Amino acid sequence: MHVDMDAFFASVEQRDQPELKGKPVIVGAAPGHRGVVSACSYEAREFGVHSAMPISQAVRLCPDGVFLPVRMGRYHELSQQIMEYLSGFTPEVHQMSVDEAFLDLTGTERLLGPVEKVARTIKEHIQSELGLTISVGVATSRYLAKLASEYDKPDGLCIVRPGDEEAFVAKQPLKALSGVGKKMLAHLNALGITTVLDLRQHTKDELNRLLGPGAAAYLFNACRGKDPGFYSDVQRSHSISGERTFDRDVKSREVIDEVLLEISQNTMFRLLSEGSHSHTVTLKLRLSDFTTFTLRKTLDHPVSSAEEVYDIARELVAGKWDGVTPIRLVGCGLGNVGKGAGGTQHDLFDQRPEKRRKVEEAVFKLKKAGLSVKKARLLGGKSDRQPGDAGQDNPRR
């Protein structure tokens, strides 16, 4: 099962401020400043606004939109409630980001009942208790479950039964296949490939000549409803991670850094929620040609803060990415997670990691108590506010 909150950041803002329901809500940088759209409501999408779009372009497309700062603490609070609820159905919950997760329901039918009943129970609970809508997809692989959750958004429910995989994928437009962005779609169309069935007419060798080995291997399997391996490296409970697949491939380091900061904060929050520790920071990059890298750095002390996760993730990006090739997906997380605070072995004269962790734990406790606490670096002045900054509580129109 893939559970995906609908337009999560914007939906939370509309939930907390009912007067914004039905209005185009755009969450991200302030108009007039550098930065990007972090998320937007479905009303804003009708104007062509999408995530990772420069805020200046969003203002041109939707001048009457309601522009709001990112309130990451609030989104994490609701996300945590949702993930805790989902963990009551299966111990195998893998949170991909603040607003989506995979659930492995294998072997639970005798206990929980048919999967459709489970899906409807989850949807109804989140709607009635939290006032949010989610879309749910169920299938025999993570790849198809995610594709199914996108099929009937928002507030959708799509179940792909065993044996129906090929027929389900055949109904999808090419652009619905995860990873087929604007450029890839144009390239396929130029080759006379306009539908999933057209794609199936080509052998793997033919696709390899036309598209290159990475894209060929992925599309050959994806168009047949076979798991192309996108999520085969999803880790179990011994790791905590998140990732973001961009609506359009990106080359902006600013956008990539914003996403890494968001995921780092979410990852550290989850680590502290578990009362666990980790010495290993991981990074995942998928380029526009589907080439995927997984990198890691192991420290001699437990990871102490979201800032440390973020700094190491940025370091790993800088060491691997050429800064030119468009990026399709970025993710980061913590590996080899263990219970407890973990052994600490810092330099005698450098107590910064331990101090960072204590600060992080204090912030975590305040958030758990319902207080709004933000990192100082997210409270930039008016002249240097960055994407995802907070600091204004009122809507910006």
pLDDT in tens, the chain (397 residues): 999 999 999 999 999 999 999 999 999 988 988 778 989 999 999 999 998 888 999 999 999 999 999 888 899 889 989 999 998 998 888 888 889 999 999 988 888 999 999 999 999 999 999 999 999 999 999 999 999 999 989 999 999 999 999 999 999 999 888 778 778 888 899 999 999 999 999 999 999 999 888 888 889 989 998 887 766 555 444 678 888 878 778 888 988 998 898 889 888 888 887 778 888 999 999 888 888 888 999 887 888 888 899 999 999 999 999 999 999 889 998 988 877 655 444 443 344 556 666 676 676 666 655 565 655 554 443 333 333 333 333 344 4
The domains located in the chain, with CATH, are 12-72 (3.40.1170.60), 75-165 (3.30.70.270), 172-222 (1.10.150.20), 240-379 (3.30.1490.100)
Cβ–Cβ contacts within 10 Å for residue 175, how many? 11
pLDDT at 190: 93
Containing H/E element for 211?
A: helix 204-211
Query: CA 254 to CA 175: how far, in whole Å?
Result: 26
pLDDT at 340: 64
pLDDT at 258: 86
Of 100, 243, 258, 360, the catalytic one is 100
Torsion of CA 123, 125, 126, 127, to 10 degrees: 80
Query: CA 5 to CA 12: how far, in whole Å?
Result: 10
Q: Residue 236, Cα to own-chain centre: how many angstroms?
A: 17
Active site residue 100: yes
